[in-house]
């Protein structure tokens, strides 16, 4: 994948397949500590221990259209090739937590990429029943977005997937991230 954000978009599809109701995406960027940490935590159905042990193997998948599942293996490889690490923890009936740690200034670290576009793509696929909490910090600054807050304002008649709403969310994230990056943009 050309951007870390594309891995995020991909991994969150797993949370949706696992029937998660709430997904928390945390991006922690610290140039001071030279790390970029992506965490995706959901309250989906989780995995059995034996499946969890082999889940980073590309020949393991739950999809039925083919026998390879590359999503998790690709993210693991992306983290490990730039001096980082990958962890996945899951409990049946409780949920799953995926964490990828990247060395921030490593030459092989892909750029984080276009987060506003990634997030609106995610929100579109979540539909109205799954909530997303997005926390993005860059050194001392942080931006958060919680779909529950947005839905509270929208009420029950206007869906979060309406195009005007999606457009607003994209702009809101663009501005929010610009602010945490000190106005230089990403």
Partner 1 sequence: MKSLKELEEIRKRTLENINLRKGREGYRIVVGMATCGIAAGARPVLTSIMDEVNKLDLKNVTVAQTGCIGACRFEPMVEVYSPDGEKVTYIKMNPEKAKAMVASHIKDGKVIDDYTMTVIDGKVIDPVSE
147-154 vs 163-180: helix axis angle to the nearest 10?
Answer: 140
| CB of 9 or CB of 104, closer to partner 1 | 9
DSSP string computed for 63-106: -SS-S---HHHHHHHHHHTTT-EEEEEEETTTEEEEEEEEETT-
The reply to whether 81 sits near partner 1 by the rule CB under 8 A is no
| CB of 172 or CB of 181, closer to partner 1 | 172
The reply to whether 62 sits near partner 1 by the rule CB under 8 A is no
Considering only 32, 49, 66, 93, the residue that binds partner 1 (CB under 8 A) is 66
Considering only 157, 183, 184, 185, the residue that binds partner 1 (CB under 8 A) is 157
| CB of 87 or CB of 167, closer to partner 1 | 167
| CA within 13 Å, CB half, 133 | 11
The reply to whether 13 sits near partner 1 by the rule CB under 8 A is yes
Considering only 44, 46, 71, 84, the residue that binds partner 1 (CB under 8 A) is 71
Stretch of residues binding partner 1 (CB under 8 A), selected from 28-36, 84-92, 134-142, 171-179: 171-179
The reply to whether 67 sits near partner 1 by the rule CB under 8 A is no
Stretch of residues binding partner 1 (CB under 8 A), selected from 5-13, 25-33, 47-55, 104-112: 5-13
Spatial contact of 98 and 87, defined as CB atoms under 8 Å apart: yes
Place of tokens 């949706």: 16
Measured CA angle at 27 (ends 116, 90), to 5 deg: 115
Question: In this structure, what token pair is assigned to residue 84?
Answer: 């980082």
Report how far residue 91's alpha carbon sits from residue 89's, in angstroms, rounded to the nearest whole number: 7
For partner 1, how many residues bind (rule: CB under 8 A)?
39
What residues contact residue 166 under an 8 Å CB cut-off, 6+ apart? Answer: 120, 123, 124, 160
Report how far residue 48's alpha carbon sits from residue 74's, in angstroms, rounded to the nearest whole number: 21
The reply to whether 65 sits near partner 1 by the rule CB under 8 A is yes
Write out the residues near partner 1 by the rule CB under 8 A: 1, 6, 9-10, 13, 17, 63, 65-66, 69-71, 74, 114, 117-118, 120-121, 124-125, 149-150, 153-155, 157-158, 161-168, 171-172, 175-176
């Amino acid at each position: 994948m050309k951007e870390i954000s594309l891995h995020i978009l991909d991994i969150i599809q797993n949370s949706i397949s696992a029937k998660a109701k709430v997904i928390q995406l945390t991006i922690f960027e610290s140039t001071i500590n030279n790390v970029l940490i992506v965490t995706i935590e959901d309250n989906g159905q989780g995995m059995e221990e034996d499946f969890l042990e082999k889940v980073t193997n590309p020949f393991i998948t739950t999809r039925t259209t083919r026998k390879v599942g590359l999503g998790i293996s690709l993210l693991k490889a992306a983290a490990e090739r730039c001096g980082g690490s990958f962890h996945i923890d899951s409990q049946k009936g409780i949920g799953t937590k995926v964490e990828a740690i990247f060395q921030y200034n490593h030459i092989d670290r892909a750029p984080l990429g276009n987060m506003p576009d990634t997030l609106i793509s995610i929100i579109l696929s979540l539909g109205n029943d799954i909530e997303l909490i997005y926390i993005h910090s860059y050194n001392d600054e942080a931006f958060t977005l919680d779909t529950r807050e947005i839905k509270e304002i929208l009420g029950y008649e206007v869906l979060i997937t309406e195009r005007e709403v999606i457009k607003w969310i994209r702009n809101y994230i663009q501005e929010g991230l610009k602010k945490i990056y000190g106005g230089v943009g990403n």
